[in-house]
Amino acid sequence: MLDWPPRLPLPTVIVPHSVSAGPTWLATDRLHPAPSARELDWLNEQGSLTRRLTALGAGRFAVEPLCEGWQLLRDDECAALGAPSGSEGWAREVYLHGAGQPWVFARSVATRVALEREPFALAALGNRSLGHLLFSDPAFAREPIEACRYPAELLPVAVREAGLWGRRSLFRRAGLGVLVAEVFLPALWRADAARR
Ligand SMILES: C=C(O[C@@H]1C=C(C(=O)O)C=C[C@H]1O)C(=O)O
């Protein structure tokens, strides 16, 4: 029997998986569905998260560096930094631990061009909190906070989960922009609920 029309093999659709594109960030009052009041309270925190986590953990706060180095920044990061797509920058990824548990995953980035122009000790922080540096220097101005459901594939494997709330904001000092993104992990919500 003639096989006509020929049965073509199912097309293999290769969906390019680009982590370089990154998440879509929105102002916290434009998120849909809207976060709960408790989630918004954390997402909109204007003060130092380091300070708030330290208070929630009754003083038990620690920064655990996960990875740091030069890399090509994601498109959403370049856009927020006002840098050309594919710019190189320093990336610092850490857990912020409260009461001995990872409560927040944070990724902070700045372009190489900006760091060469306006030196800043981002690469030399180790387990000291970046928040102390940013909030103790009045020359830093913070831009509005944006949030998203942070893509699971951008999280460390140990805490990888879909749908976690992330927020970011840009801290500016002269020609330097430090973009700080923080993702709230389930242990933080449990600790916060237990405190209320
Ligand atoms: C920006 C702050 O600094 C925190 C400290 C970080 C670090 O040490 O890498 C990263 C993100 C922060 O949440 C803050 O305390 O608000």
179 lines ligand 1 (CB under 6 A): no
d(CA 26, CA 186): 22
pLDDT tens, position by position, 78-97: 999 999 999 999 999 999 99
Q: Is the CB of 106 under 6 A from ligand 1?
A: yes
pLDDT band at 7 (very low <50, low <70, confident <90, very high): low
Q: How far apart are CA 120 and CA 126, in angstroms?
A: 14
> Please, what are the domains in the chain?
26-195 (3.40.1410.10)
Q: pLDDT for 29-87, tens place per residue?
A: 999 999 999 999 999 999 999 999 999 999 999 999 999 999 999 999 999 999 999 99
169 lines ligand 1 (CB under 6 A): no
To the nearest whole percent, how much of the chain has pLDDT over 90?
87
Query: Residues 157-166: contacts with CB within 8 Å, 24+ apart?
Result: 158/102, 159/102, 159/105, 159/185, 161/186, 165/35, 165/39, 165/42, 165/43, 166/23
Structure ipTM: 0.92
Residue 125 Cα: closest atom of ligand 1: 8
Ligand 1 centroid vs 179 CA: distance in angstroms? 10
Are the beta carbons of 145 and 168 closer than 8 angstroms? Answer: yes
**58: alpha, beta or left? (left if phi > 0; alpha if psi -120 to 50):** left
